[in-house]
């Protein structure tokens, strides 16, 4: 196995040479190398014998080969129903498009960089899962690049990926819009997922409908009779922070409620900072009856803060999160939250990037996917 490291970037090539191990004789190494090559060849032949052709995929879906090709290439001239059917059959059969000759003739490597601050949080993992699945369906490989949210590291990785890969997906980029515009002007193709800051209209992006999601959360709390609703926001200046604040305030205004600055507190989107922000709100002389949190982590911290003060959720305090990551269903009580279509964001970004690489024409470079309120057990009518 050979691993190429690009400032934390790793991809794997299983076609490398077998290195000698301590104590092995040259003859043994040669024999083992030959066995290893034969094993890979046999596995490849076995895989190819089981893999369905694009014609078989088309026959099973009841569509033309051209339609399957359009789905694989991320074209938008396919109905959602047909796209879902073909994609499901592709996944079930493990089909990947063979793009080797096509990529070579176009000067392509078949590698796509994916820059992400961290891999393990559920939010990033959801986006990565969707992107990885969509790239696999198109016969493309990921060059995964955790950046730890460090600006200089991200710039360095992008500069190296420019010569290594065909394009990139950049999740919550630290670069300014001007820096990303320069990268675009240099001819590198990329798509931003969930922009951290406002971007120039030329920069392709995929995001969730933050303002709509906040509006749904607030209308749910207002319908339950809550009037004193606090908001724990994300970091100031973040695009998601400002758009969710806009939804929060618009919902209050539509209900004839003036915003109270004391009920808006900022926090880093993690559990412990969320707990401390909630403590600040719950220690007010007139505490809120409900909290709308920037994300699920902060919401969980708010539940912990309430519990530490002898308050029951939702009987004494309603809490709404944002994201709907997996542990939103594990925490007690199960969290009412706004669902972001994380996997679909990853898949949509791959589709957009594929079309950019194929130099296809399309109407918009900016895709905003719908959010949806998921009501569980952390909200209830306002206490009497």
The Cα 65–Cα 220 span in angstroms is 46
Could you read off the pLDDT of 156-203 as tens digits, one per residue? 999 889 888 999 999 999 999 999 999 999 999 999 999 999 999 999
Does 219 fall in a domain?
A: yes
Q: Is 23 left (phi over 0), alpha (psi -120 to 50) or beta?
A: left
Structural domain containing residue 281? 210-340
Does 101 fall in a domain?
A: no
Does 356 fall in a domain?
A: no
pLDDT of residue 32: 38
When pLDDT is cut at 50, 70 and 90, the band that residue 76 belongs to is low
Does 287 fall in a domain?
A: yes
Statement: residue 269 has pLDDT above 70: yes
Could you read off the pLDDT of 346-357 as tens digits, one per residue? 999 999 999 999
Does 60 fall in a domain?
A: no
Could you read off the pLDDT of 79-136 as tens digits, one per residue? 888 888 988 888 787 666 654 444 444 567 899 999 999 988 899 999 999 999 999 9
pLDDT of residue 291: 98
pLDDT of residue 315: 97
Does 21 fall in a domain?
A: no
CATH number at residue 326: 3.40.50.2300
pLDDT of residue 33: 41
Could you read off the pLDDT of 232-260 as tens digits, one per residue? 999 999 999 999 999 999 999 999 999 99
Does 37 fall in a domain?
A: no
When pLDDT is cut at 50, 70 and 90, the band that residue 78 belongs to is confident
Does 26 fall in a domain?
A: no
Name the nearest CA neighbour of 260 among 296, 228, 237.
228
pLDDT of residue 67: 86
**In terms of DSSP bridges, do strands 336-339 and 372-374 run parallel, antiparallel, or are they unpaired?**
antiparallel
Q: Count up the domains in the chain and report the number.
A: 1
């Amino acid at each position: 196995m050979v691993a190429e490291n690009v400032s934390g970037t790793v991809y794997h090539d299983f076609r490398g040479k077998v290195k000698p191990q301590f104590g092995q004789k040259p003859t043994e190494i040669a024999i083992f190398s030959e066995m290893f090559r034969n094993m890979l060849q046999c596995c490849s032949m076995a895989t190819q014998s089981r893999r369905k052709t694009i014609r078989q995929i088309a026959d099973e879906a009841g569509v033309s080969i051209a339609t399957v090709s359009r789905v694989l290439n991320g074209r938008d001239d396919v109905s959602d129903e047909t796209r879902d059917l073909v994609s499901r059959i592709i996944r079930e059969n493990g089909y990947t498009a063979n793009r080797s000759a096509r990529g070579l003739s176009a000067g392509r490597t078949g590698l796509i960089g994916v820059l992400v601050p961290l891999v393990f949080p559920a939010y990033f993992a959801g986006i990565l899962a969707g992107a990885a699945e969509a790239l696999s369906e198109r016969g493309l490989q990921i060059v995964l690049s955790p950046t730890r949210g460090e600006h200089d590291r991200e710039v360095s990785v992008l500069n190296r990926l420019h010569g290594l890969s065909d394009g990139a997906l950049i999740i919550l980029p630290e670069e300014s819009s001007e820096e990303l515009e320069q990268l675009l002007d240099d001819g590198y193709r990329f798509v931003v997922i969930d922009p951290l800051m406002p971007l120039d209209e030329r920069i392709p992006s995929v995001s969730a409908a933050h303002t709509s999601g906040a509006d749904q959360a607030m209308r749910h709390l207002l319908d339950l009779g809550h009037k004193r609703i606090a908001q724990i926001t994300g970091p100031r200046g973040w695009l998601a922070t400002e758009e969710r604040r806009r939804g929060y305030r618009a919902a209050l205004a539509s209900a004839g409620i003036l915003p109270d600055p004391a009920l808006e507190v900022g926090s880093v989107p993690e559990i412990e900072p969320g707990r401390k922000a909630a403590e600040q709100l719950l220690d007010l002389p007139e505490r809120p009856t409900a909290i709308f949190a920037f994300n699920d982590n902060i919401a969980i911290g708010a539940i912990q803060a309430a519990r530490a003060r002898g308050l029951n959720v939702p009987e004494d305090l309603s809490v709404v999160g944002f994201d709907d990551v997996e542990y939103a269903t594990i925490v007690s009580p199960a969290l009412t939250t706004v669902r972001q279509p994380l996997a679909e964001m990853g898949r949509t970004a791959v589709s957009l990037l594929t079309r950019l690489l194929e130099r296809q024409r399309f109407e918009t470079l900016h895709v905003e996917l719908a959010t949806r309120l998921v009501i569980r057990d952390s909200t209830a009518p306002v206490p009497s």
